[in-house]
Each structure stands twice: as C-alpha cells, then as structure tokens.
Amino acid sequence: MRRLRHHPAVRKLVASTSLSPADCVLPLFVCEGEGVTSPIASMPGQAQLSIDRLITEAEQAQELGLGGLILFGIPSTKDALGSDSTCEDGIIQRAVRAVKNAVPELLVMTDVCFCEYTDHGHCGPLTEIDGRTEVNNDATLELLGRQAVTHAKSGADVIAPSGMMDGMVGAIRAALDGANFSHLPILSYAAKYASAFYGPFRDAAESAPQFGDRRGYQMDFAANPDQALREVAFDLDEGADMIMVKPAMAYLDILAKVRAAFPGVPLAAYHVSGEYSMIKAAAASDWIDERSIALESLTAIRRAGADFILTYWAKDVARWLSA
Ligand code: PBG
C-alpha cells in the first residue's frame, strides 16, 4: 500500500475526495444599521453585519469563488408571529436585494424559518396541545409560504427551509409556484437534529428559545437513523430539489446513509457553529492546528457524501487552498 503513498504526485493522482471553494457556502448574519460589524463572542472570526458590510463580504465571496452565501436576518423587533420575516421590507428582504444588486452572479440562499424573528425564539407560532406549548405546525406552513415568497421577490436564488415542520417543503413549493417562482429550487434542511452544537449560532442570530427546547420538531439524535431517510423521502416527495443533513461531524453516519439511499440527489451538510467554535477554541490555545483540522474535517464531510458544505470557514478554505 505504501507505493501509493510514497510520491506526493501519486497520492494526488489517486485521491478521490476533493474540496474546493465552490463546494463551500458561507453563512452570514445581517442586522440593522450602517457600518456595523458586531463580533460574535462565541464564534471567533464571525460577526453580525449591517447591509453595507454584508456587501463587502459578498464581493469577497464572489472573488474567492465560493459556492454562495446563506443569509440569516436579525430583525430589530420581534413578536409572537415573527412578522418582520414575512414583510417585504424586512431585514432579510432588504439584505438580499442589496447583495443581488451589488453582486448579481453570486448565489444567494436564504434560511426560511421563524426563530430569529419570534420573541419566544421558536420556529413558528405557538399553540397549546395537551397542556404543552408547541409550535403550531399548520399555522406555520402558511406563514412559511409567505416568507419564502418575499425572499423570492427580493431575488433569492435558493430557498432553504430549516424549521422541521411537517409538510414545509410542499407548502413552500406551492406558494412559490403560485407566485410565479416555479423555477426557484428548494434546499430542505431535511434531516436536522435537535443539537447542542447550534449553541453559538443562537448567540449569533439571537434565536435561542425563551422556554423549552426544539425537541418537539427537530430530530432526536437517539432515534433510529432510518428516520432521517423518511424525512428525506417526504421532502423529496413534496418537491425538495436539494437535501441537507445537519450538524455534520457527529452525523457522518446519517450523511453516508442518505447518500447511499438517494444517489444523485444533491446533498448538503451544515458544519454548524458549535463544530466551528470548538475547533477555534482549541486552536486559540495552540492545542491543534486550525487550518489542518478544518480542512481534514471538511474533506471528511465531503467523503461521507456531501456535495457541498455550509461552513463558516468558506473564505478561509479558498485562501488556504490557493496558498
Ligand atoms: C434555524 C437555524 C439554526 C441553525 C441554522 N438555521 C438554529 C436552530 O435550529 O436552532 C444553526 C446553524 C449553526 O449552528 O451554525 N433558523
């Protein structure tokens, strides 16, 4: 076996997993104001950005050849229904218009969900079921359709629902088709687990649930792994064009299972905030080498079956690989 490893050029020749900037989608957080770059303490190197600063990032993303951006809006006011998210002049709608206007060729995805916009921090309007407060599934579907259409009207290229409501892909597909956006693809966060790895993101997006948790809608990490396949099958049936598994590193088995069960379906993985911040923290203590660990992790996610990866290292990947 070592004959395949002796010469660096032979190693390169026989490698079968690649990683390139075009495989990476950069998540960014957009907030109100001007000239705002507000660092996120639990995510070193990441910040909430006002729209003008977001445009600078978008220009860099385009220059570096990234696969695209996924945008998350942080509104200045929140309410029980997350009204800012369905309004044509909301923070995310203005951000998308500005980015598409400044860098039209850059792919812009939008996260379609309510947790950043509701005052209770859950992913849709609430209701009581058997004495328990839950997100109202079907009331959320209607609002998701409206939210997705405002994103589409703003110029979003890919609609990415992340709320784990049953029927969300079908509802969004119907709403988009009804508004003359039948050409717009949906990237569904199909197998999204209720994960503590999202902790730093919730600081970044100010979206932590104000009570309880998300285990009534996001997947149970101890559930039978085939449940992920059922989630994916439902979403594809409802019209999803691309599928996501999230988080990534602790869920490579799920990623590989989905890859094997649905060959040819474009598959994404989200290397989430907690996965990023753990590596950042260890690297800041000089316990590990950030660049090596990040590239090894992202390559492993590709090897497990991801066609593309949502990663906070997207710009670094481009710089590291060209250095
Ligand atoms: C929900 C959403 C979350 C993430 C992406 N979309 C948070 C959640 O479900 O609580 C997490 C991403 C990350 O941790 O990097 N809008």
Catalytic pick among 192, 257, 280, 315: 192
Distance from Cα 162 to the centre of ligand 1, integer Å: 8
Q: In sequence order, which ranges of the chain are alpha helices (DSSP H)?
A: 8-14, 51-63, 91-102, 137-154, 168-178, 199-204, 226-238, 252-261, 273-284, 290-304, 314-322
- Tell me the CA distances in angstroms from 223 to 164, 166, 227, one per residue in order: 15, 17, 7
Query: Helix 290-304 crosses helix 314-322 at what angle (to 10 degrees)?
Result: 110
Distance from Cα 195 to the centre of ligand 1, integer Å: 9
The predicted pLDDT at position 42 comes to 97
| Averaged pLDDT for residues 228-252 | 98
- Tell me the CA distances in angstroms from 89 to 96, 150, 154, 302, one per residue in order: 11, 9, 9, 37
How does pLDDT run across 163-192, given as a tens digit for each residue?
Answer: 999 999 999 999 999 999 999 999 999 999
How would residue 286 be classed by pLDDT, with cut points 50, 70 and 90? very high
Q: Residue 37 pLDDT more than 90?
A: yes
How does pLDDT run across 17-29, given as a tens digit for each residue?
Answer: 999 999 999 999 9
Q: Are 150 and 176 in contact (CB under 8 A)?
A: no
The verdict on whether 192 is a catalytic residue reads yes
At residue 219, φ and ψ (nearest 5 deg) are: -75, 150
The verdict on whether 315 is a catalytic residue reads no
Percent with pLDDT over 90 in the chain: 99
Sorted by where each begins, the domain ranges of the chain are: 18-322
Catalytic pick among 78, 246, 257, 315: 246
Q: Is 164 in the pocket of ligand 1 (CB under 6 A)?
A: no
| Averaged pLDDT for residues 281-301 | 98
Strands 37-39 and 108-112: what pairing?
Answer: unpaired
Q: Residue 70 pLDDT more than 90?
A: yes
Q: Are 230 and 257 in contact (CB under 8 A)?
A: no
How does pLDDT run across 84-137, given as a tens digit for each residue?
Answer: 999 999 999 999 999 999 999 999 999 999 999 999 999 999 999 999 999 999
Average pLDDT in the chain: 97
Query: Which positions ≥6 away from 12 have C-beta within 8 Å?
Result: none
How would residue 238 be classed by pLDDT, with cut points 50, 70 and 90? very high
Q: Is 113 in the pocket of ligand 1 (CB under 6 A)?
A: yes
How would residue 245 be classed by pLDDT, with cut points 50, 70 and 90? very high
Q: Whose CA is nearest to atom 12 of ligand 1?
A: 272
The predicted pLDDT at position 310 comes to 99
The predicted pLDDT at position 123 comes to 96
The predicted pLDDT at position 163 comes to 97
Q: Is 111 in the pocket of ligand 1 (CB under 6 A)?
A: yes
How does pLDDT run across 262-278, given as a tens digit for each residue?
Answer: 999 999 999 999 999 99
The predicted pLDDT at position 9 comes to 98
Overall CATH class of domain 18-322: alpha beta
The predicted pLDDT at position 311 comes to 99
The predicted pLDDT at position 323 comes to 83
Alpha-carbon span 263 to 266, nearest angstrom: 8
Q: Whose CA is nearest to atom 11 of ligand 1?
A: 198
Distance from Cα 242 to the centre of ligand 1, integer Å: 18
At residue 140, φ and ψ (nearest 5 deg) are: -70, -35
Tokens coding 209:
């649930």
DSSP state of 222: T
| Averaged pLDDT for residues 30-47 | 98
* Mutational test site, ligand 1, from 30, 46, 201, max ligand atoms within 8 Å of CB: 201
Q: Whose CA is nearest to atom 16 of ligand 1?
A: 113
Q: Whose CA is nearest to atom 1 of ligand 1?
A: 162
